[in-house]
């Protein structure tokens, strides 16, 4: 019988404790570890012979980088480790980014323990697990500049202010906005901001 060593990276201590208790019921799990020490992740993966890392996206004050960026960095240093996103931020753009980064799965924190174990076993055996909601549409990626433009506009800044802050002419800004409209399949700034929030490209302002 195979045994799996799991490492959870999450900023919520209560969630980590609850997951530890839930997984303790399953014989397939050899050891369950959790950490909030981002700097020592690679060492812990090696020292504890971790098979699968469960990574949240929003790590709060633990790191300036989000979980997807940290996961991508871990894979560059250790391509053998399997990383599965386990998050409450279940948005199409995050699943898309996780796939692009070479991660092994993307799961919602609302998943049942039985389904989580089944998914982890599948990943452990070499599979991937990216369940998606019906109707998910992955659209063309927004560039970092396009995301920055939308964030500034969503904060209430005028086009003139946005152009000035980004050191570009209003004409250049208009060109960027047209590209954004095309990618998001919208026809106005309001629609673009709304859809970008829905897809997870920018955070809600409330």
pLDDT tens digit string along 155-170? Answer: 999 999 999 999 999 9
Please report the pLDDT score of residue 100 as a whole number: 86
The hierarchical CATH code for the domain 144-199 is: 1.10.10.10
**pLDDT at residue 10 greater than cutoff 50:** yes
**What does the domain layout of the chain look like in residue ranges?**
4-124, 144-199
The DSSP result for the chain, as a single string, is ---EEEEEE-S-HHHHHHHHHHHTT-TTEEEEEEE--GGGHHHHHHHTT-SEEEE-S--GGG-SS-HHHHHHHHHHH-TTSEEEEEES---HHHHHHHHHTT-SEEEETT--HHHHHHHHHHHHTT--B----TT--PPPPPPHHHHHHHHHHHTT--HHHHHHHTT--HHHHHHHHHHHHHHHT-SSHHHHHHHHHHHTSS----
Q: What is the pLDDT of residues 84-125, one digit of tens each?
A: 999 988 787 888 888 888 999 999 999 999 999 999 998 998
Please report the pLDDT score of residue 52 as a whole number: 96
In the predicted model, what is the mean pLDDT of the chain? Answer: 87
**pLDDT at residue 133 greater than cutoff 80:** no
Q: What is the pLDDT of residues 27-65, one digit of tens each?
A: 999 999 999 989 888 999 999 999 999 999 988 788 888
Give the class (CATH, top level) of 4-124: alpha beta
Would you place residue 135 in the very low, low, confident or very high pLDDT band (cuts 50, 70, 90)? very low
């Amino acid at each position: 019988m195979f045994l799996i060593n799991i490492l959870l990276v999450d900023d919520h201590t209560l969630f980590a404790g609850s997951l530890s208790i839930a997984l303790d019921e399953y014989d397939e799990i050899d050891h369950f570890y959790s950490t909030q020490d981002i700097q020592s992740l690679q060492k812990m993966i090696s020292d504890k012979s971790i098979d699968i890392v469960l990574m949240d996206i929003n790590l709060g004050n633990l790191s300036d980088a989000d979980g997807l960026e940290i996961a991508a960095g871990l894979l560059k240093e250790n391509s053998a480790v399997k990383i599965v996103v386990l998050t409450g931020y279940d948005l199409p753009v995050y699943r898309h980014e996780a796939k692009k980064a070479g991660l092994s799965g993307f799961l919602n924190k609302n998943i049942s323990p039985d389904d989580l174990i089944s998914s982890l076993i599948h990943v452990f055996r070499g599979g991937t697990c990216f369940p998606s909601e019906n109707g998910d549409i992955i659209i063309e990626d927004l560039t970092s500049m396009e995301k920055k433009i939308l964030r500034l506009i969503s904060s209430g800044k005028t086009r003139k202010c946005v152009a000035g802050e980004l050191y570009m002419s209003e004409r250049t800004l208009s060109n960027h906005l047209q590209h954004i409209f095309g990618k998001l399949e919208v026809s106005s700034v309001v629609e673009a901001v709304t859809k970008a929030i829905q897809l997870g490209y920018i955070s809600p302002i409330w």
